[in-house]
Structure 1
């Protein structure tokens, strides 16, 4: 069985902890591990291979965290833009043998009861082998209005229901045969594609065309123009709510989608006044209770418990004012290492850059800024136009606007350097990539 892991999504309800370029599934919150890593570990006991569906930015985050787990032999499919779960799953299934049983899981869910989870998956495999599309219904523990529900009679699905209001949710709980829709699935790859072709033929045909045009270079890369024409839809709307081959496994597996700070606070420790605090510095609270306090290097969120679902509204407002706060942390992860913005003022920007051994930045140029590099540790190989030279610890170099240049670490230890950008515009989109080891396009 192959585990298709869906790595899309930006986790906006967990801002400022979660950002577009460092979404919640990669934030290490659970004993130094991320939800993505926990997903890999949990399903590697059931599946003999992982098939990771991601965008190009999150792919490198996944790769770094897989290396930490020594999980190196995986399949990858990269989407240039997201089109929801139905196309993502379809494109992955098109790369598999039609008789291959797949377990489709999000990368950002928490499951605490491994034994119950394995029992549920093993039952799903039996049904999948018989030609059914299997979903997992979570035994609800309260009247949640943020989830869709599955109405069932044993393993028979009676109906899928949209997110309810509070009165309806209470009625679902009292009825006893309604389950939270987990977003996890099990089926044969061919069975899913057959049902997709019947019930959502446009998605099937456009995905088929995109897959046939895809680029293969150790992974499957879908072209942007092909992805753009695929209709955007979830697997539930596209197939599961229409197919006659659907079964549900009622599951009590200690599941959480960790979709809000209220949900996260239930999994991590709170103080004596039931305040939930995440911060790298000491935070003292006086005469307050039931608060959520999330403190990062560049943003502070304070919310009353029970209101953290409204964080998404804050993110919407911030996108209109300062999109970088929703997109990146002060420290940004790149496939070659990281950079941290130390100061950003009109006319200049100062960064700390760390380049991993054996990695190099893209061959590039800028139109509006000059760059001064000061090496703090390690030895940098610098190429500027047709010249190449070494810059050692406590040495510096200068690149003029318009000059083609590259920074490379040929050594055994990380390079740490300070970059001072000076110019009329220092935005991250002032870059032209001429050559890139990681096949990234211009920002």
Structure 2
């Protein structure tokens, strides 16, 4: 069985923890592990292969975290890179086209939490048996309260009577009382060929355009892993020709082959800070545990932040999230509105897009100070990593090595720099930074110029074949 892991989405309701370039599935929220890594670990005992569907930027995050996951066979990992999001139906179709038609696939989001893994394995076996009989299986979560943020599945045993949109509160209460309505988990199990046949039957435009995109795709291998992994990259023009639609609308609501498996697996989509609060460990006062938190007579608060002390006095039922460059304060019960904050930020800010620490294929950089005329960064380059051969038109740079050994290319010369040594990069000069050592390279970069945006960069050579400023 192959686990198709969908990595789309930016998790706007968990801003400022989740950002476009570091969405919630890759944030290490649970004992140093991300939801993506937990998904990999949870399914590896049932699935011999993992097929990760993501954007090109999220692929690099996924690749890093697959390397961090112990006992994971890199040779059994494949990637499908989408240059544009077209929802779940095309994403799943493109992945299925790369598999044998008889292969059973388990489709899972990468950003859900499942706490009862023993029952989860039981449910997977039931789903697998149904899939072998050519059923399209969906997993219905037994509702624990009248949730208005999920779609519902109306069931008669394992037969699906109807799919229902997100209800209002009164309708959600009726669903809860009825007992045969389940939350739609967004997880599926079926043979790759059966799904594609049903997609062709009920959504031929999606099927045909996806097939053409798949035929035009490029196949490469990743050299960053100990064992090479297949990478299928879809061309942007082909991707944009595929109609945008979800698997529910495109297939599941129309097919007669659909079955639902009741799943009491301790499931949460961790889709809001209220949901996250329920999953995090708490102290005797109901406050989430945080080493940076000091409280006086405060109860039942979600406190997130690891950079500076957070102190509260006489408050209850609040959400306080501090990420260094942004502070969110919300009443519990209102955290669904955070996505409205993100909509406003998109108008005049990059705070929705990137953290102070940005992840790149070669390592990370952290903005320490940002002014209209200068910017200071901490740069860490992984062993064997190197930045692109590049130049800037509006700024000069000064690099000072903190630890490790830097190999610096400046114009046509190459120089090695060690701790406490520095070099000046003039505006407009070609340059490159490389870590040829076995330890991380850390340096401080000072930029000076009239424009310090990340898009002031011309790449001449790049190991990661990037076109934009990432």
Whether TM exceeds 0.5 here: the answer is yes
1:423 pairs with 2:435: no
Matches within 5 A, 1:184-263: 184-218=187-221, 219-263=231-275
Confirm or deny: 8 A CA contact 1:109 1:258 kept in the other structure: yes
Secondary structure of the 1:194 match is helix
TM-score (normalizing by structure 1): 0.98
Alignment of 1:336 with 2:348, yes or no, is no
> Partners in 1 of 2:323 and 2:282 — Cα distance?
18
Task: Give 1:129 deviation, angstroms.
Answer: 0.8
> Residues 264-279 of structure 1 correspond to what in structure 2 (within 5 A)?
264-270=276-282, 272=285, 273-279=299-305
CA distance in 1, matches of 2:434, 2:415: 10
Map 1:15-34; keep pairs closer than 5 Å.
15-34=15-34
Report SS of the residue matched to 2:212.
Answer: helix
Deviation of the 1:284 alpha carbon: 2.1
Aligned to 2:320: 293
Q: CA deviation at 1:28?
A: 0.9
Secondary structure of 1:220's match? strand
TM-superposed CA distance for 1:283, in Å, is: 2.0
**Quick check: 1:129–1:188 contact (8 Å CA) kept in 2?**
yes
Post-superposition offset of 1:435: 1.8
Aligned to 1:133: 136
The answer as to 2:438 corresponding to 1:401 is no
**CA displacement at 1:250 relative to structure 2:** 0.9
**Which residue does the alignment assign to 2:291?**
none
Counterparts of 1:315-394 in structure 2 under 5 Å?
315-322=342-349, 324-394=350-420
Q: CA deviation at 1:368?
A: 1.4
Cα distance, 1:385 vs. partner? Answer: 2.4
**Cα-Cα RMSD:** 1.0
- Do the aligned residues in 2 keep the contact of 1:269 with 1:276 (CA within 8 Å)? no
Deviation at 1:99, TM superposition (A): 0.5
Contact 1:432 / 1:442 at 8 angstroms: preserved in 2?
no
Q: Secondary structure at the match of 2:171?
A: helix
2:184 aligned to which of 177, 181, 186: 181
The CA deviation at 1:321 is 2.1
Q: Is the 8 A contact 1:377 1:392 kept in 2?
A: yes
Cα shift at 1:27 = 0.9
SS in 1 for 2:189: strand
2:292 corresponding residue in structure 1:
none
Which residue in the other structure is 1:114 paired with?
117
Q: Displacement of 1:282 after TM fit?
A: 3.1
Provide structure 1 residue ranges, at least 5 long, that are not aligned to the other structure.
none
Three-state SS of the structure 2 residue aligned to 1:438 is: coil
Could you tell me how far 1:58 is from its partner in structure 2? 1.1
The separation in 1 between residues aligned to 2:83 and 2:393, in whole angstroms, is 26
Q: Which residue of 2 aligns with 1:284?
A: 311
State the partner residue of 2:438.
Answer: 412
* Aligned counterparts of 1:210 and 1:435: Cα–Cα separation in 2: 28
Q: Name stretches of at least 5 consecutive residues in structure 2 with no aligned partner.
A: 222-230, 286-298
Q: How many residues align?
A: 442
Report deviation, 1:125.
0.7
Is the Cα–Cα contact under 8 Å of residues 375 and 392 in structure 1 kept in the other structure?
yes
Deviation of residue 365 (structure 1)? 1.6
1-side partners of 2:443 and 2:317: how far apart?
A: 43
Does the CA-based 8 Å contact 1:270-1:277 persist in structure 2? no
Deviations 1:100-138 (A, max 9, x none): 000000000000111111111111111111111110000
Residue 16 of structure 1: CA displacement? 0.5
